[in-house]
Amino acid sequence: MSGGEFHVHGVHEHAVEHQAHSGDSFAARIAVMTAILSTIGALFAFQGAAEQNSALLLKNEAAIRRAEASDQWAFYQSKSNKQNLAELGAAFASGDMAASFRKEAERYKAEKAEIEPKARELEKAATEASERSEAAMHVHHRWAQAMTLVQIAISLAAITLLTRKRWLQGGAYIAGAGGVALAVLALLHI
């Protein structure tokens, strides 16, 4: 953390920096590996955040389309009620009044026929946006998993540097490779 002229290093950052300048080739390799993993991790984090934003926007679009569909169905129901009242009026009226009510009932029926496809189309658009949001969220989770493995690899690299245990270096490589594999899955939307 830095602010003005004051800078505080984490313990592992200090150890990595110290080892990197010591002329030790093992330490230098671990330092380079840590820098590469940090860069890869930053890219993964960016992609994950972008995918999450996309998922949220799609979920918002789905909610808007559902609200619009609900409005259309309410409009449809209103026309149904008016049609029913006009049909009821036609049943109890006679002569010109009955004919007028039947004409109104037919008009409401025609208006409903125009409203229904709009409502169904909006429902379909809402479902599609929701499905795309779920798919984007799945990809976001892949990026997050990849980033987690890269962070584990960085931690293992720092511990390797401090303990000089080579088997931890192998663990760092495996965790890093696992993170890259998950990133490839995210790129392929799997």
With respect to residue 149, please indicate whether it lies within any of the assigned structural domains: yes
The pLDDT score that the predictor gives to residue 10 is 60
pLDDT of res. 14: 64
Amino acid 9: pLDDT: 58
Residue 162 within any structural domain of the chain: yes
Instruction: Kindly state whether residue 179 falls inside one of the protein's structural domains.
Output: yes
pLDDT of residue 11: 61
> pLDDT averaged over consecutive 10-residue blocks of the chain (190 residues)?
54 62 80 93 94 96 97 96 95 92 95 96 96 96 96 94 91 96 94
pLDDT score recorded for residue 25: 87
Listed residue (14, 9, 58, 39) closest to 154, CA to CA = 39
Q: Output the pLDDT for position 129.
A: 96
pLDDT computed for residue 20 by the predictor: 57
Write out the residue range of the structural domain in which residue 73 sits.
11-187
Domain assignment of residue 34, yes or no:
yes
Q: Does a structural domain hold residue 52?
A: yes
* Rounded Cα gap, residues 58 and 131, in angstroms: 9
Answer yes or no: is 3 within a domain.
Answer: no
- What does the pLDDT read at residue 1? 45
Residue 23 pLDDT: 66
Is position 2 within any domain?
no
Structural domain count of the chain: 1
pLDDT at 106: 95
Residue 164 domain flag: yes
51/49 Cα distance (integer angstroms) = 5
